[in-house]
């Protein structure tokens, strides 16, 4: 490897710096090389860079001069990064490619059409249409004979095109969401400034800053950092995290940082990385089946079996009636006369009978149900994106509607995450912002060290004198801005005059971070700690007062400091403590060997209180969730007083509620309960303070054991187990780490609890819309099956033709799904308790509504079937058209009823759903065209104004029936549970 790179680099260097004594051919080569490399600006090719990281051979890296040599060849300044100008970035794109992956092409529209043709019923219908077309042309000639078969073909084509179009659009929607979910933000250093850019904008040569929870965005080499542990299980399968440092400096894209922080030099991006090669062969699974879709498939299968049975009976009855000579043609002659009947006529008649039976199956099988779910989920995902929630797993859309408990984080979710230092205590004395000049210079210097060296944040001072930029976590930014703007800290000078020996990085388990550093001036070694105030206080045996005198910290003094911390916490302040200790060189051992900082005998430097105000609207969102029967539990790492103050402010905790006992606990207390005690007390707990990620996981497990549907919000790497264990994991889009997002089902893009409440409402809306559509479609199914069966058995014919039934199928499958599945969520949804997973999809209320409408439709249509000719004094053909027209218009009017399952006013909010009104209008227009203009195609006769008004009047009765029926009370217990009891 080293010989390959040296073979590349050395000739390049020699050619670029070649003396003037070269021969003529060599001069031409020299000229070509200078042209190439002055254009691309780089002295190393992508293949060598890729091989360098892939082989993970430290010896090869050292042979070519190490990481700094590679940075030099990539024209990267390891401290200031690459220049931020567009020309340089364009050169890097051209030389090394972009950080995007080539994915397999998405399915084309043609693929969805092919899949639609694979449906068995469509396949059988096509066969019947072909036979009908062939016999029709043979019997009546091509001019007249194509109508029956051709009309079936057209109807099938319409069904296929509409369903394929909706599936194609839904697939495109998922692809767009996939691109958004992959577009993560990355910290890079460019032109000396730390900034956030899209992962797709990273180029070879970039200096990337990595911290706990980040996903490594490209292949690269370790520049500097501390305690860096990387989980490479996604690439290597190794479960144990590996350390990345100067001895093992290789980063593989797609791996995750589990501890520490570092800066890396990017050497390969996009398709040149190992992750890129792997991702290009994976296509996002958009065929994921949600629990609701699985339940609907079972329902579809059950209804389909009933439909098949009815269709088979109709087939048998019609065949028996035909072959026993009980059917007549249009002229009144008997159709079957034994051996006198032509074979062509027999086959033609049988094909018509089979087609009618198959069409009944098509209408009976509610194929629109899966389509309705798909449409609802696709529509909801799109709208939820606008409401700051990005769905990563489809099932979460509907599961969120069943959530009974939400375990929420505090920082950034309930609060604004806009932190500012508002209190400062040095010893037992509180200092105001303008009174820091009275503090001893030595103490200020210790503070400067403790802030500047023990941080993952950074400070950028623009040369132009504009506003200083602070980067890092909100807590880090708050402390850095306070130290720079109020304590006059010079971060750059401090870093240059001190050597960092070892860093213990912050994580949510330890709730503290420490640094071991050496001053260059006097060569003394010091330990600085920073973290949760009560944690740091336990490590201290003395404290500094304002004049810099060290005082002994006995139990009595500790109590006083604890009171100060409690007072700050009760004011909703996050309390951070700083501690210091000068240590001897011998006690720390060798720099490389030193893996643990001294944790006792420290001197307390001071306390800072950071204010993080509650988000506006959070209290209202919490109240909405509680009103909807969803319990809110706050789980935070802050101390118990801060937690109680914020929980009370947000409405999670009522004033004085903890006096009753059990509403507020600490993580350690909850952890030490017996399993039985935990199960007994978990429902009462509203706030868990000083919790570890394990405590959060434990609470989720307990709640699930008690039958709750649990949603969890989290932003840290250590929240990943709880996010995975929860029924719905919600990660934070701004402060959330990539590991947390990867473990979650939904990403809350604005980190706001109000968005979590919106997701609950959308989840209920998805479920409610599906129920509306089920009620609407089953009404059609029941009515169509009964009418066709009764008419076939009694009269020997089916009143609704194949094309007419296919048209009804098109209305209820696609247009109905579009109209009802895209209803927006309303506040009414939050007025009822969560829907349990075990509750039936078709409730007693739905059975009441659909049976009332179906019975009315059956009664009217059968009356028209047997008495229609005499009532209206019309021919049989007009009577059949009246039946068809009334049946379709009944569905149009019933579509309004389906909008509200329980509410009597079905028109409320209808003006806001333009899509619904548009679909109703399209349906009516198409029905008029079918009846008035497509006589041959639809097998209809034109109707006069009286007949049209009669059809509309009969169909409109659906509205008063719907209103009256909703006054009838229904039992809470599901109807079918009574049948099970009888079986027992």
Q: How far apart are CA 5 and CA 73, in angstroms?
A: 11
Coil, strand or helix at 552 = strand
Range in 5-14, 140-149, 523-532, 938-947 the model is least confident about: 5-14
d(CA 64, CA 60): 7
596/427 Cα distance (integer angstroms): 27
Backbone phi, then psi, for 525, in 5-degree steps?
Answer: -110, 135
Are β-strands 458-460 and 429-431 bridged in parallel, bridged antiparallel, or unpaired? unpaired
Q: 396 or 330: which carries more pLDDT confidence? A: 396
Residues 6+ apart with CB under 8 A from 324: 336
Tokens of 650: 């947000």
409 is catalytic: yes
CATH fold label, 368-380+760-972: Calcium-transporting ATPase, transmembrane domain (1.20.1110)
Q: List Cβ neighbours of 885 (8 Å cut-off, separation of 6 or more).
A: 927, 931, 940, 943, 948, 951
- Nearest Cα neighbor of 978 from 844, 817, 879 is 844
Q: Average pLDDT, stretch 258-283?
A: 78
Please tell me the distance from the alpha carbon of residue 862 to that of residue 852, in angstroms, as a whole number. 16
Looking at residue 9, what is its pLDDT?
A: 40
Q: Which residue among the candidates 214, 409, 813, 880 is catalytic per the annotation?
A: 409
Sequence-distant (≥ 6) Cβ neighbours of residue 966 within 8 angstroms: 849, 902, 903, 904
Query: Which residues of the chain form CATH 3.40.1110.10?
Result: 422-586+596-607
CA 448 from chain centre, in angstroms, equals: 42
Q: What is the pLDDT of residue 961?
A: 93
**pLDDT tier for residue 798 given thresholds of 50, 70 and 90:** confident
Q: What is the signed CA dihedral for 199, 757, 725, 239, rounded to 10 degrees?
A: 10
Whole-number Å distance between alpha carbons of 131 and 127: 6
Select from 341, 311, 305, 207 the least CA-distant residue to 262.
207
Give the count of alpha carbons within 13 A of 683, CB side only.
9
Distance between CA atoms of residues 458 and 455, nearest Å: 8
> What is this structure's pTM?
0.74
* Least reliable range by pLDDT among 234-243, 409-418, 863-872, 972-981: 972-981
More confident residue, 859 or 123: 859
Task: Give pairs for 289-294: CB < 8 Å, separation 24+.
Answer: 290/373, 290/377, 290/394, 290/395, 290/397, 290/398, 291/395, 291/398, 291/399, 291/837, 292/373, 292/395, 292/398, 292/766, 292/767, 292/770, 293/370, 293/373, 293/374
| pLDDT value at 853 more than 60 | yes
Smallest Cα–Cα separation from 205: which of 270, 153, 269, 284?
A: 269
- Give me the helix-helix angle, 876-898 and 802-810, nearest 10°: 10
CA distance 112 to 165: 8
Greater confidence (286 vs 832) lies with: 832
Considering only residues 658 and 617, tell me which one the structure prediction assigns the higher pLDDT.
617
H/E/C letters for each residue in 886-949?
Answer: HHHHHHHHHHHHHCCCCCCCCCCCHHHCHHHHHHHHHHHHHHHHHHHCCHHHHCCCCCCHHHHH
**pLDDT class for 350, splitting at 50, 70, 90?**
confident
Q: What is the pLDDT of residue 416?
A: 83
Tokens at 728, concatenated: 């719905």
Look up the CATH number of domain 422-586+596-607.
3.40.1110.10
Q: If you write DSSP's letter for every residue of 723-762 in order, what string do you get?
A: HHHSSEEEEETTT--HHHHHH-SEEETT--HHHHHHHHHH
Q: Which CATH class is domain 390-416+615-751?
A: alpha beta
Q: Which position has the token pair 């559509």? A: 773
CB 431 within 8 A of CB 659: no
- Token pair belonging to 123: 């396949």
CA angle 864, 869, 872 (to 5 degrees): 85
Above pLDDT 70, what percent of the chain? 85
Q: What are phi and psi of 582, to 5 degrees?
A: -85, 130
Task: Decide: residue 115, CB within 10 A, 0-12 exposed, 13-18 middle, 19+ buried.
Answer: middle
- Chain segment 903-947, per-residue pLDDT in tens: 888 888 888 888 889 989 999 998 999 899 888 777 888 999 999
CB 81 within 8 A of CB 92: no
Every domain of the chain with CATH number 2.70.150.10 lies at 46-287
Q: Which tokens sit at 570?
A: 């009760």
Least confident piece of the model among 18-32, 273-287, 669-683: 18-32
Which tokens sit at 489? 């800290």
What is the phi/psi pair of residue 860, to 5°? -65, -45
Higher-confidence position of 579 and 398: 579
With CA atoms as reference, report the closest residue to 689 among 538, 611, 572, 539: 572
Q: What does the mean pLDDT of the chain come to?
A: 81
Q: Which of 172-181, 194-203, 209-218, 844-853 has the lowest mean pLDDT?
A: 172-181
Q: Report residue 130 as tokens.
A: 């072909």
**SS3 letters across 863-880:** HHHHHHHHHHCCCHHHHH
Per-residue pLDDT, averaged over 164-185, amounts to 72
Predicted confidence band at 976 (pLDDT cuts at 50, 70, 90)?
low
Percent of the chain with pLDDT over 90: 26
Q: What is the pLDDT of residue 890?
A: 93
Domain with CATH 1.20.1110.10 in the chain: 368-380+760-972
What radius of gyration, in Å, describes the C-alpha atoms of the chain? 37
Q: Show the tokens assigned to 853.
A: 């409408």
Which residues lie below 8 Å from residue 543, measured CB to CB, with a gap of 6+? 427, 550, 551, 553, 557, 561, 603, 604, 605
pLDDT at 103: 67
Label residue 84 by pLDDT band (50, 70, 90): confident
- The pLDDT value given to residue 399: 85
Report how far residue 162's alpha carbon sits from residue 271's, in angstroms, rounded to the nearest whole number: 37
The mean per-residue pLDDT over the stretch 630-656 comes to 89
What pLDDT, on a 0 to 100 scale, did the predictor assign at position 116?
75
Residue 600: how many other CB atoms lie within 10 Å: 9
Q: Could you give the CA distance from residue 397 to residue 767 in angstroms, rounded to a whole number?
A: 9
Domain with CATH 3.40.50.1000 in the chain: 390-416+615-751
CATH 2.70.150.10 fits 46-287, yes or no: yes
pLDDT confidence tier of residue 277, bands split at 50, 70 and 90: low
CA 238 to chain centroid:
28
Q: pLDDT digit string (tens) for 62-74?
A: 888 889 989 988 9
Q: How deeply is 499 buried, as exposed, middle or buried, from its count of CB atoms within 10 A (0-12, 13-18, 19+)? A: middle
Q: What pLDDT does residue 698 have? A: 93
What is the distance between the alpha carbons of residues 784 and 361, in angstroms, rounded to a whole number? Answer: 10
Residue 565 confidence (pLDDT) above 50: yes
Q: What are phi and psi of 730, to 5 degrees?
A: -120, 115
Q: What is the pLDDT of residues 747-795, one digit of tens each?
A: 888 888 888 889 999 989 888 888 888 888 888 888 888 887 887 777 7
pLDDT at residue 281 above 70? no
Q: Does the pLDDT at position 285 exceed 50?
A: no
Which pair of structure tokens corresponds to residue 583? 């240590």
pLDDT at 876 over 90: no
Q: Which residue has the higher pLDDT, 491 or 362?
A: 491
Question: What is the C-alpha to C-alpha distance for residues 920 and 695, in angstroms, rounded to an integer?
Answer: 53
């Amino acid at each position: 490897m080293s010989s390959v790179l040296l073979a590349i680099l050395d000739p390049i260097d020699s050619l670029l710096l070649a003396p003037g004594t070269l021969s003529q051919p060599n001069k031409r080569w020299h000229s070509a090389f200078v042209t190439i490399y002055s254009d691309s600006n780089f002295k190393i090719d992508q293949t060598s860079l890729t091989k360098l990281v892939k082989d993970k051979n430290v010896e090869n890296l050292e042979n070519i001069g190490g990481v700094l040599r590679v940075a030099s060849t990539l024209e990267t300044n390891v401290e200031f990064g690459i220049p931020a100008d567009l020309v340089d970035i364009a050169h890097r794109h051209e030389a090394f490619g972009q950080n995007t992956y080539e994915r397999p092409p998405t399915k084309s529209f043609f693929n969805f059409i092919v899949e639609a043709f694979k449906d068995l019923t469509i396949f059988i219908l096509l066969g019947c249409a072909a036979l009908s077309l062939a016999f029709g042309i043979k019997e009546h000639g091509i001019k007249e004979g194509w109508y029956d078969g051709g009309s079936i073909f057209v109807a099938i084509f319409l069904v296929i095109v509409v369903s394929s179009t909706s599936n194609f659009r839904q697939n495109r929607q998922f692809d767009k969401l996939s691109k958004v979910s992959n577009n993560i933000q990355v910290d890079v250093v460019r032109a000396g400034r730390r900034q956030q850019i899209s992962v797709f904008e990273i180029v070879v040569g970039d200096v990337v800053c990595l911290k706990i929870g980040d996903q490594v965005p490209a292949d690269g080499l370790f520049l500097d950092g501390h305690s860096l542990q990387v989980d490479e299980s996604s690439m290597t399968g190794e479960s144990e995290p590996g350390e990345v440092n100067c001895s093992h400096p290789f980063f593989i894209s797609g791996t995750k940082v589990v501890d520490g922080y570092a800066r890396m030099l990017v050497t390969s991006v996009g398709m040149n990385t190992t992750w890129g090669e792997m991702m290009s062969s994976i296509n996002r699974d958009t065929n994921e089946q949600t629990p609701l879709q699985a339940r609907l498939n079972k329902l579809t299968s059950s209804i389909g079996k009933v439909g098949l049975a009815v269709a088979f009976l109709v087939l048998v009855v019609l065949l028996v009636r035909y072959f026993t000579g009980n059917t007549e043609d249009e002229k009144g002659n008997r159709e079957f006369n034994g051996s006198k009947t032509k074979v062509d006529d027999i086959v033609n008649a049988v094909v018509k009978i089979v087609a009618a039976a198959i069409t009944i199956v098509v209408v009976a099988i509610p194929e629109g149900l899966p389509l309705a779910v798909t449409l609802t989920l696709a529509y909801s995902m799109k709208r939820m994106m606008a409401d700051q929630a990005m769905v990563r797993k489809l099932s979460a859309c509907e599961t969120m509607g069943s959530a009974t408990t939400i375990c929420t984080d505090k920082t950034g979710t309930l609060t604004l995450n806009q932190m500012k230092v508002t209190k400062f205590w040095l010893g037992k004395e509180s200092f105001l912002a303008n009174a820091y000049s009275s503090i001893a210079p030595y103490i200020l210097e210790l503070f400067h060290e403790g802030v500047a060296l023990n941080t993952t944040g950074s400070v950028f001072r623009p040369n132009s004198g504009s506003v200083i930029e602070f980067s890092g976590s909100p807590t880090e930014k708050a402390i850095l801005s306070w130290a720079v703007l109020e304590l006059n800290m010079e971060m750059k000078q401090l870093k240059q005059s001190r050597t960092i020996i070892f860093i213990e990085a912050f994580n949510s388990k330890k709730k503290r971070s420490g640094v071991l550093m050496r001053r260059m001036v006097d060569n003394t070694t010091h330990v600085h700690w920073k973290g949760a105030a009560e944690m740091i206080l336990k490590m201290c045996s003395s404290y500094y007062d304002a004049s810099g005198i060290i005082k002994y910290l006995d139990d009595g003094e500790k109590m006083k400091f604890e009171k100060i911390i409690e007072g700050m916490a009760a004011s909703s302040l996050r309390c951070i403590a700083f501690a210091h200790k000068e240590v001897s060189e011998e006690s720390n051992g060798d720099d490389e060997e030193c893996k643990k900082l001294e944790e006792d005998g420290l001197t307390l430097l001071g306390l800072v209180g950071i204010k993080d105000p509650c988000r506006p609207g959070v209290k209202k969102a919490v109240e909405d969730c509680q009103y909807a029967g969803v319990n809110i539990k706050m789980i935070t790492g802050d101390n118990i007083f801060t937690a109680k103050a914020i929980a009370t402010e947000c409405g999670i905790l009522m004033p004085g509620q903890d006096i009753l006992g059990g509403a507020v606990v600490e993580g350690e207390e909850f952890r030490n309960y017996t399993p039985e005690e935990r199960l007994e007390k978990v429902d009462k707990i509203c706030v868990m303070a000083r919790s570890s990620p394990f405590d959060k996981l434990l609470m989720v497990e307990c709640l699930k054991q008690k039958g709750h549907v649990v949603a969890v919000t989290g932003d840290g790497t250590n929240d990943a187990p709880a996010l995975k264990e929860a029924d719905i994991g919600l990660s934070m889009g701004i402060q959330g780490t990539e590991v947390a997002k990867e473990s979650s089902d939904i990403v809350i893009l604005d980190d706001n609890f109000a968005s979590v409440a919106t997701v609950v409402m959308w989840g209920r809306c998805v479920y409610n819309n599906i129920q509306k559509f089920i009620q609407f479609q089953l009404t059609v199914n029941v009515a169509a099956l009964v009418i066709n069966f009764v008419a076939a058995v009694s009269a020997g014919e089916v009143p609704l033709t194949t094309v007419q039934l296919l048209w009804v199928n098109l209305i209820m499958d696609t247009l109905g799904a579009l109209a009802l599945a895209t209803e927006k969520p309303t506040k009414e949804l939050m007025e009822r308790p969560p829907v349990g997973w075990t509750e039936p999809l078709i409730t007693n209320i739905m059975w009441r509504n659909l049976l009332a409408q179906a019975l009315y439709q059956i009664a009217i249509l059968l009356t028209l079937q047997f008495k229609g000719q005499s009532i209206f004094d019309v021919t049989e053909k007009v009577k059949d058209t009246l039946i068809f027209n009334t049946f379709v218009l009944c569905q149009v009017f019933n579509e309004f009823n389906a909008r509200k399952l329980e509410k009597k006013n079905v028109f409320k909010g209808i003006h806001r759903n333009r899509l619904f009104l548009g679909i109703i209008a399209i349906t009516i227009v198409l029905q008029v065209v079918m009846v008035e203009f497509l006589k041959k195609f639809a097998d209809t006769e034109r109707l006069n104004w009286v007949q049209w008004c009669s059809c509309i009047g009969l169909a409109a009765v659906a509205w008063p029936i719907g209103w009256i029926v909703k006054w009838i009370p229904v039992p809470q217990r599901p109807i079918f549970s009574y049948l099970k009891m009888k079986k027992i």
